[in-house]
Amino acid sequence: MPSSTLVSGFQLSLRAALSAGLAVWVAQLLQLQFPLYALIAAVLVTDLSPPQSRLLGFRRLVGTVLGAAAGAALTQLLPPGPASIGFSILAVMLVSYLLRLEAAAKLAGYVCGIVMLDFSAEPWTYALYRLIETLVGIGVGILVSFVPKLLRVETPEERQ
């Protein structure tokens, strides 16, 4: 394994760990119900490049908004159960593709399913809190991406 791969892997792992820990800490300070969603978002949007972190964060946000809204709306329209969850995931993923948001489709599908699985009497409140927790994670992940790299590794593009 080239040393540049190991160094990049270490730096990304360190950033993801820092993002996750900070996101959970912020979520707990805000007394959010499920810091897990902040942790997931923080790790998934963390990158060595701030522009890439912002892109990943945008995709995560769009998918979460679509999925949470669809899950909350469809929970009120469909009976609880596996068939309704499956149909809802199908619907929100297709809508994502129709809106040309392919990169957010899977995320929208699984967030929709999570909201529907809760069977909450308050699906909109549940969806809103999942969105807030995700925003905490995205924000922390993007902020951590601005921390300077510990070691500079020359990429193949930079060598040319």
* Residue ranges of domains in the chain: 3-153
Q: In whole angstroms, what is the distance from residue 85 CA to residue 81 CA? A: 6
Which range (17-26, 62-71, 112-121) has the least confidence?
A: 112-121
What confidence tens digit (pLDDT) does each residue in 31-73 have?
Answer: 999 999 999 999 999 988 888 888 889 998 999 999 999 999 9
| Reported pTM | 0.82
Polymer length in residues for the chain: 160
pLDDT score for 2: 65
Query: Which of 123, 131, 118, 139 shows the shortest CA–CA distance to 65?
Result: 131
Residue 151 reports pLDDT greater than 60: no
pLDDT score for 159: 46
43 contacts: CB under 8 Å, gap ≥ 6: 16, 19, 20, 137, 141
